[in-house]
Amino acid sequence: MKTIGMLVAVEMDAVLSRYGRAAGVDTVGGFELHRYEGDGYRLFVVNAGVGELAAAAAAELLIAVCGAELIVNFGVVGGLTEEMALARTVVVESVVHYDFDTSAWDSCEPGRYASYPTPFIPTTPALVEKARQLFPELKSAVCASADKFVSGADAKRALHERYGADICEMEAAGVVLTANRAGVPCLVIKTVSDGITGGAEEFSKEVGRSAELCLAVADAVMRSL
């Protein structure tokens, strides 16, 4: 039986709507672990809360304590281009942690960890390909991730121009870095809840619907593995 770890920031209502009441709920390391039993897999879901630090800690918990053989992160994001309109769903091929900067010390360009050749931290290519086989309309996206909520067209366009990123959010860098370090495959599916001209108001209005659309795609990929 495959053990899957799923991590969400603010989208737990979508999990409960799709999977219902958990078979068990335990509190470990300050996080609530919701356990589900599926056909051929065991699923642990953590509602990590917002931000890279919480996301990294929750991903490590899923791997080290729950024995997750696959990490799935789904959730809502901001769109950085006109193409990334409301409710557009993507599979993330790489993440850039754009506010990480050690350049004054080691001459790495801003956003790049010394252990990676570029600022772009890859997810698992085979899982990206699997998602696109199941959903050919999915775009492979670059995600700009950092501990800040990006609002307004100018700030969003600047991120796109600097890194070629399609979307932005606040958890994926912590998730992908942790999974890669542990050698655990990682699938990241995101849906746009606020477009390039949107901000907090649009996000608040659309977060629920966007999360449900996103989880439907992530769930289908999980079940196909």
pLDDT of 98 above 70: yes
- Hey, which residues does 55 pair with through a beta bridge? none
pLDDT at 195: 81
> What one-character DSSP code corresponds to residue 109?
P
pLDDT at 212: 87
pLDDT of 66 above 70: yes
pLDDT of 205 above 70: no
pLDDT at 58: 98
Residues 175 and 7 sit within 8 Å (Cβ to Cβ): yes
The pLDDT of 208-225, averaged and rounded, is: 87
Three-class secondary structure assignment of 165-190: CCEEECCHHHHHHHHHHHCCCEEEEE
Task: Single out the residue of 143, 141, 193 nearest to residue 169, CA to CA.
Answer: 143
pLDDT of 48 above 80: yes
pTM of the model: 0.94
Phi-psi region of 44 (alpha: psi -120 to 50; beta: other; left: phi over 0): beta
Q: What residues contact 214, with CB distance under 8 A and at least 6 apart?
A: 11, 14, 74, 75, 76, 89, 189, 190, 191
What's the pLDDT tens digit per position in 99-126? Answer: 999 999 998 999 999 999 999 999 999 9
Task: Single out the residue of 164, 144, 54, 50 nearest to residue 99, CA to CA.
Answer: 144
pLDDT over 70 percentage in the chain = 96
pLDDT at 70: 97
Helix, strand or coil for residue 50?
coil
Which pairs with CB-CB distance under 8 Å and at least 24 residues apart come from 147-150? 147/51, 147/52, 147/53, 147/99, 148/99, 149/200, 149/203, 150/78
Residue found by looking up tokens 């619907």 in the block: 209
Average pLDDT along the chain = 93
The pLDDT of 79-107, averaged and rounded, is: 93
List the single range of 28-37, 72-81, 179-188, 189-198 with lowest mean pLDDT: 189-198
pLDDT at 39: 79
- Rounded CA separation 216/56 (Å): 24
Q: What residues contact 192, with CB distance under 8 A and at least 6 apart?
A: 76, 77, 78, 79, 84, 85, 86, 87, 88, 89, 90, 167, 210
pLDDT at 207: 63
pLDDT at 213: 86
pLDDT at 218: 92
pLDDT of 204 above 70: no
The pLDDT of 60-78, averaged and rounded, is: 96
- Rounded CA separation 23/32 (Å): 13
- Hey, which residues does 28 pair with through a beta bridge? 31
User: Residue 203 — very low, low, confident or very high, per pLDDT cuts 50/70/90?
Assistant: low
